[in-house]
């Protein structure tokens, strides 16, 4: 069964360092998302991406964040200068259509020390 794949599963980084989280969405999907979940809190929306551009972003998604779809399969989230409060589980999701079922990856646990 097709699935969303995220790498790495766990990343530890020093404060101020840049990190890139990688996702391979389901192959025929057109809509891509990043969400995050701080430990013990709700899942929060970060950004949605369609037709090679950001279609919506939350207040969390400030200038330190960027997304890219560098080729036909990968979808990346970059955090330029990590802060302690960026520590969270980051989830990638994809959908075939705007209002169809969303499929999430297993997440990348980011720990900023």
Tokens of residue 43, six digits: 């899942």
Per CB under 8 A, 26 contacts other proteins: no
Per CB under 8 A, 104 contacts other proteins: yes
Q: Which of 7, 11, 45, 66 binds other proteins (CB under 8 A)?
A: 45
Per CB under 8 A, 59 contacts other proteins: no
Distant-in-sequence contacts of 93-96, Cβ < 8 A, 24+ apart: 93/4, 93/25, 93/32, 93/33, 93/34, 93/35, 94/4, 94/25, 94/26, 94/29, 94/31, 94/32, 94/33, 95/29, 95/30, 95/31, 95/33, 96/26, 96/28, 96/29, 96/30, 96/31
Using the contact rule CB under 8 A, the part of the chain among 13-21, 62-70, 74-82, 93-101 near other proteins is 93-101
Nearest distance in Å: CB 20, other proteins? 19
Per CB under 8 A, 111 contacts other proteins: no
Q: Contact 110/90 with Cβ under 8 angstroms?
A: yes
Q: Which of 7, 66, 76, 106 binds other proteins (CB under 8 A)?
A: 106
Q: Distance between CA 109 and CA 55 in Å, rounded?
A: 25
Nearest distance in Å: CB 65, other proteins? 15
Name the site residues for other proteins (rule: CB under 8 A).
6, 31, 33, 35, 41-45, 48, 50, 55-56, 58, 89, 91, 93, 98-107, 109
């Amino acid at each position: 069964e097709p699935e969303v794949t995220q790498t790495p599963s766990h990343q530890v980084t020093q404060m101020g360092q840049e990190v890139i989280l990688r996702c391979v969405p389901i192959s025929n999907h057109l809509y891509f998302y990043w969400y995050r979940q701080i430990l013990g809190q709700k899942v929060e929306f970060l950004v949605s991406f369609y037709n090679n551009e950001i279609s919506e972003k939350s207040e969390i998604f400030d200038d330190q964040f960027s997304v890219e779809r560098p080729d036909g399969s990968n979808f990346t989230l970059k955090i330029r200068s990590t802060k302690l409060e960026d520590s969270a589980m980051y989830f990638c999701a994809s959908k075939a259509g705007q209002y169809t079922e969303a499929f999430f990856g297993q997440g990348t646990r980011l720990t900023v020390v």
